[in-house]
């Protein structure tokens, strides 16, 4: 998605692509917040870890790796009971 932004401007779709990326990023951040809220609840650690990793990866692809480092660290701390 970030790669598409480079070319979208050239064909007159820059604003639309940016709006869609922002909406997807917002949805992923909301998903991440819900996920972090549920990680400290007793449950299946493997499933929780897979959900965390999947959410981090999707957010990385859409918003860039710099936006996911804090999420990943908070998730790992919660999974470890810290």
Q: Quick: pLDDT tens for 8-18.
A: 776 777 778 78
Give Cα 61 distance to the centre of its chain.
8
- Long-range contacts at 42-47 (CB < 8 A, ≥ 24 apart): 45/79
DSSP code for 20: H
Closest CA to 68 of 36, 37, 24, 32: 32
pLDDT tens figures, 37-72:
776 566 677 888 888 888 889 888 888 888 788 888
Please state, for a pLDDT cut of 90, what percent of the chain lies above it: 0
């Amino acid at each position: 998605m970030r790669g598409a932004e480079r070319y979208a401007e050239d064909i007159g779709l820059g604003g639309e692509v940016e709006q869609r990326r922002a909406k997807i990023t917002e949805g992923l951040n909301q998903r991440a917040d819900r996920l972090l809220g549920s990680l400290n609840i007793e449950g299946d650690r493997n499933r929780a870890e897979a959900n965390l990793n999947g959410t981090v990866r999707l957010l990385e692809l859409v918003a860039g790796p710099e936006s996911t480092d804090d999420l990943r660290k908070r998730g790992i701390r919660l999974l470890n009971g810290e």
